[in-house]
Structure 1
Amino acid sequence: MTKHRPIRFRAWADDKMRAVRAVSFTEKGELFRILDAEGVERWPTALMQYTGFKDRKRREVYEGDIVAVNGLARTVVEWQEYRWHPQIPKKTIYEVLGNVWENPELLKASKKNV
């Protein structure tokens, strides 16, 4: 039997990261609204899916997270071509530093150091 990853989301809504209890879409498949962990309806700017991975500190990795790979390169976790990017080999050490909504300065700092 194959073990499947849990399907979880978080959302950027009202200038704050929110845990998501339920998601609603329009008939065209566009994001409409969420029900956050407190049971409040919100209209999010972005919806981010859990990748099924955890970093070296056992924190869940979500789409839009900024991760450090082997303590050096910083990159954004994204869904591309039917898989999560970056693809992180099992023995690679990576850590969630923040995300593109709450910590955009992490990417700017990374570009200056390259």
Structure 2
Amino acid sequence: MRTIKFRVFDKQYKKMLGVETLYINEEMFKPIDGNEYNVWCYDTEYCSELMQYTGLKDKNGKNIYEGDIVSFDPSVPPLGVMPQEDEVGIIKYILNSFLVVTKNNVNYDIDELGDWVVIGNIHENPGLLDATAKKRQSSLHRRDKRAN
């Protein structure tokens, strides 16, 4: 059975917090910092975003949560379609499954793949996906030039 736990990103103070208690009926949560927050709010600029733990750890033993940005490490072969080496994506919960959604909108089921490494998250490292995609595209371009 998978461990159920959450974390929350406080957009107002721009920090990630672990969640100590989740009050379902009151639509509130209490992070480890001891404050209580509403899950639902109207001012999206200052809302806190709740993210669920996938039940999986990355290659280095780090917990993988929704909103994490992960990079594929091909050292362990996957069961399904193989991502490109160093391919990156965001962890999303879609149709009762945790998926890695890449910049090219290719979805990989995180349970069927080899090793992923958490390299950041969409809140604290929003430019990481773009920077990694540009770096990868540049290296592919250099490789193509050498082949010709």
| TM-superposed deviation, 1:40 | 1.6
Supply the distance in 2 between the matched residues of 1:95 and 1:38 (Cα, whole angstroms).
27
One-letter amino acid matched to 2:131: A
Match of 1:16? 15
CA displacement at 1:76 relative to structure 2: 0.1
Determine the structure 2 residue equivalent to 1:37: 32
Per-residue deviation, 1:16: 0.6
Structure 1 window deviating more from structure 2 (36-45 vs 4-13): it is 36-45
> TM-score, normalising length from structure 1?
0.82
Residues 57-105 of structure 1: per-residue CA shift (max 9 Å, x gap): 1000000000001250110000112211021335x12100010000111
Equivalence for 2:94: 80
Residues 1:7 and 2:29 aligned together: no
Return the index of the structure with the highest Cα Rg: 2
The structure with the greater share of residues assigned to strand is 1
1:53 aligns with 2:53: no
TM-score in terms of structure 2 length: 0.64
Partners of 1:25 and 1:16 in 2: how far apart?
23
Q: Which runs of 5+ in 1 are unaligned?
A: none
Distance 2:121 2:131 in 1: 13
C-alpha offsets along residues 25-59 of structure 1, whole Å, 9 cap, x if unaligned?
A: 467xxxx4321113221345210000000000100
More helix per residue: 2
Q: Which is further off, 79-88 or 4-13?
A: 79-88
The reply to whether residue 94 of structure 1 matches residue 91 of structure 2 is no
Letter in 1 for 2:19: V
Identical aligned residues as a percent = 33
- Residue 45 of structure 1 aligns with an amino acid whose one-letter code is S
